[in-house]
Structure 1
Amino acid sequence: MRIAPLLSLLLLTIAAPLLAAEKEKHVLLLGIDGCRFDAVQKAKTPNLDRLVANGTYSPTALILGDRYRKNDTISGPGWGSINTGVWADKHNVQGNEFKEPHFDKFPHFFHFVKQAFPDAKTVSIVDWDPIAKYIVSDADVSLSTKPTGANVVATYAKGDEKSTAEAIRLIEELDPKAMMLYLGQVDETGHAHGFHPSVPEYIAAIETVDGLVGQVLDAIAKRIDEEWLIVVTSDHGGEGRGHGGGHNNPNILHSFLIVSGEGAKKGKFEEQVYIVDAVPTLLTYLGVKLDDAWQLDGHAVGLK
C-alpha cells in the first residue's frame, strides 16, 4: 500500500473545508451625526439592536480625550477625530471652518487601508459636504449626496436615503474593502426640535435612520463569502437644540461606540472608550499592523 499518496489525499480532504470557510474581511464605519444613545434606547431600533446583540458596545464613548479638550464639540472636530483616529490638536480641526487642517500628516483611515492593500476598493458616502471636501482621502469613490432645499431636515432625510441606496449599490458592484457611510438627519432634527429622548421628532428621525441601517445590513448579509466588521458611532450628543461648548456636559460629551460582527466580542465595554478608537479597531480587524509613527490616539477595542 502506498501510504504517502493516501495521507496527502486525507490531508487535502480535511483542509479543503477549512480553506473554504476562510472569509475575506471587510469593514464599515457607520456614522450617525448628533445621535444620543439614550434616545436610541427609547426608540424602536431593531437594526441597531441587532448590531449591539452581535457585538460589544458603550453608551458613553467620549468625544474628547484627556490630553486635549480645546476644540468645540461640533461636527468638524468630531468627524475629523473619528475618521483619523487622532484628536484635534493633531488633525487641527477646531470647529467647522477647516482653516488649516493637518490631514496630510494625519490622514483618513483609507490611507492606511490602501498602504496595506493597494488593490482594495474604498468608498465614502456622506451628506455633510465638509467630510467629502476636507477629510476623505484615498477613496476610490467619494460621494456627497446632500440635495438642495429650504427645509434642512427634509434635505438631509433625502440625502440619507440616497446615501443608503448608493451604499447598497456600491457594496454589490464595487465590493469595497472599507466603507464609510454617514447619515445626517438625526443631527438636523435635533437642531430643529431638540436633542432629547422626549422629543418625538428626534425619536422618529432615529427610527428612520435605523430603517436605512437595516437596508445596508441586509445587503451585507447577502455576501456570504465575506466577513464584515461594522463600527457605529456619533460625533457628539446634544442638549436643547445645540451641542457647541459642551465640554462639561455629559449629554454632549457622550457618544456611543458599537463594534459588531463575528470578529467582535459580545457584551458591554467595561473600559472607557473614545471615538478615536474606531479607526485602529477597523484597521486591526483587517490585519493592518498599526505603526507608532502614525501617532494614533485611539486603540483597537472590542475585537476577539
Structure 2
Amino acid sequence: MLSRSLRRRFGVTSFAICVAIFAMASAADAVEPTKKVLVIGIDGCRFDALQRAETPHLDALMEAGAVAQPTRIFPARYREADTISGPGWSNILCGVWSDKHRAMDNEFTAPNYEEYPHFFKRLKQAQPDAATASFSDWSPIAKNILSDSDVTLDAEREDHNYQLSDVEIVAAASKHLREADPTATVVYFGQVDGAGHADGFHPSVPTYVKAIERVDGYVGELLAAIESRPTRANEDWLILVTTDHGGSGTSHSNGHENPEVACSWLVVSGDAAHRGKIAGERGQVDLVPTALKHLGVSVDPAWKLDGEAVGLK
C-alpha cells in the first residue's frame, strides 16, 4: 500500500491508478501454472521387487506423492482377457476394462479403440492445441494402443533387446521434455519385463532387480529434464508411474488367481498430489481420469470410463 505522503503528492486519482497497477502486477504474479502430465510405464515390475531394489528416484516420487498398492489389473466382473501387456496397457491408457476396449491379448484381433480410445484423444477433444508425445519400445504401444500421438517413437529392436532400446527411449524422451512444450507425455520401458521372462519375476532374482535399478536411473533423467526446462517455475507437473502386471516364475500369462501376477501399483506425484497411501481398492483404469483431472479436462459420462481420479488434492 502507498504511504500517506505519496497519496498527498499524487492526489486521489493518481493514487487510484497506482493501486490499480499494483493490483494488476499482483494478479500477473498469481497466474495459474500450466498443467502437464508425464506417465512412466515400467512393464512387468513387481512392487516387492521395486522395494528390494535401490531406486532413489522412484522412492522420492513416492515420498512426495500418493501410492496405490495393490492395484487391480482386471475387474471383478470380467476375467476373459489374459494377464499380459496388451490388455494391461489398454486398461491403463484408455481408462476402461477389457470388456470395453476388447484388447484381450497381445494379438489385438478386434480392439474397440474407436469407442474407447486412449486418453490423448480425450485430451484433444477438450483441448485441441494440447501437445502429446509417446516414447516406447514395445511396438503395440505406438501402433495399437497409443496411436495418433503428435510425437511418436517406437524403438523396439528386432532382437527385442529392451535394455538397449530403453537407452534410446530415455535419450529421446528427455530431449523432448527439455526442449518441446508437451502437455501429456507417455514413456514406456520394457527391460524389466524382459529380465523377468529371461530369469524370473521375483525380488530374489539379481538381474530382475538390476533392471529395475537401471530404469530408476532413467526416471531420474526424465525428472532432471523437466527440472531443466526454462519455463519450469510456471508449470505444474503431475508424474504418474505404473506397471501392467507382476509375474511368477518366468511368466505372467493366465495369472488371474496368482497374486504375484494379478496386481499392479500406481504412483501419483507432484505438487497436486496428496502424500501417503491411496485408500480403497484401486484399478489400472484410475490413471486416465487422474491425468485428465489434473489437466483440467472434465470427464464426459458418455465416455463410460471405469476409473476415477485418485491421489490428487
TM-score band by shorter chain is over 0.9
Any residues of structure 2 matched to 1:19-38 within 5 Å, and which? 19=31, 22-38=32-48
Q: State the partner residue of 1:9.
A: 21
Q: Secondary structure at the match of 1:252?
A: coil
Maintained 8 Å contact 2:202/2:248: yes
Percent identity, aligned pairs only, is: 51
Which one-letter code corresponds to 1:286 in the other structure? L
Report if the CA contact (8 A) 2:238-2:294 is conserved: yes
**In structure 1, what is the Cα distance between the partners aligned to 2:187 and 2:23?**
43
Other-structure match for 1:84:
94
Name 1:247's counterpart in structure 2. 256
Name the amino acid aligned to 1:227. D
Counterparts in 2 of 1:122-141, with a 5 A limit?
122-141=132-151
Provide the rounded CA distance (Å) in 2 between the counterparts of 1:34 and 1:147.
18
Map of 1:1-304 to 2, 5 A cutoff? Answer: 1-2=11-12, 3-19=15-31, 22-149=32-159, 152=160, 155-223=161-229, 224=232, 225-304=234-313
The structure with more radius of gyration = 2
Given residue 241 of structure 2, which amino acid in structure 1 is its aligned partner?
V
How far off its partner does 1:114 sit? 1.0
- On the 8 A contact 2:245/2:252 being kept in 1, the answer is yes
The amino acid of 1:172's aligned partner reads R
Per-residue Cα deviation, 1:81-139 (whole angstroms, up to 9, x for no partner): 11100000000011111000000110011001111221121001110011111111331
- What letter is aligned with 1:73? T
1-side partners of 2:25 and 2:106: how far apart?
Answer: 58
CA–CA distance in 1 between the matches of 2:266 and 2:49?
A: 14
Question: Following TM superposition, where does structure 1 have runs of at least 4 consecutive aligned residues deviating by more than 3 angstroms?
Answer: none
Paired AA for residue 253 in structure 2: G
Q: Is the 8 A contact 1:60 1:255 kept in 2?
A: yes
Q: Name the Cα RMSD after superposition.
A: 1.2
- Could you tell me which runs of 5 or more consecutive residues in structure 1 were left unpaired when the two chains were aligned: none
Q: Give the deviation of 1:273 after TM superposition.
A: 1.1
8 A Cα contact 1:36 1:195, kept in partner? yes
Q: How many angstroms apart in 2 are the aligned matches of 1:104 and 1:130?
A: 16
Q: Could you list the runs of 5+ residues in structure 2 that have no partner in the other structure? A: 1-10
Whole-Å separation in 1 of the counterparts to 2:175 and 2:278: 33
Give the letter for the 1:250 counterpart: P
Separation in structure 1 between the aligned mates of residue 237 and residue 103 of structure 2, nearest angstrom: 30
Task: Work out the CA distance in 1 between the residues paired with 2:243 and 2:269.
Answer: 15
Q: Is the 8 A contact 1:107 1:137 kept in 2?
A: no
Moved more, 53-62 or 181-190: 53-62
Deviations 1:244-301 (A, max 9, x none): 1111111111111000010111111121111110001000100000000001001100
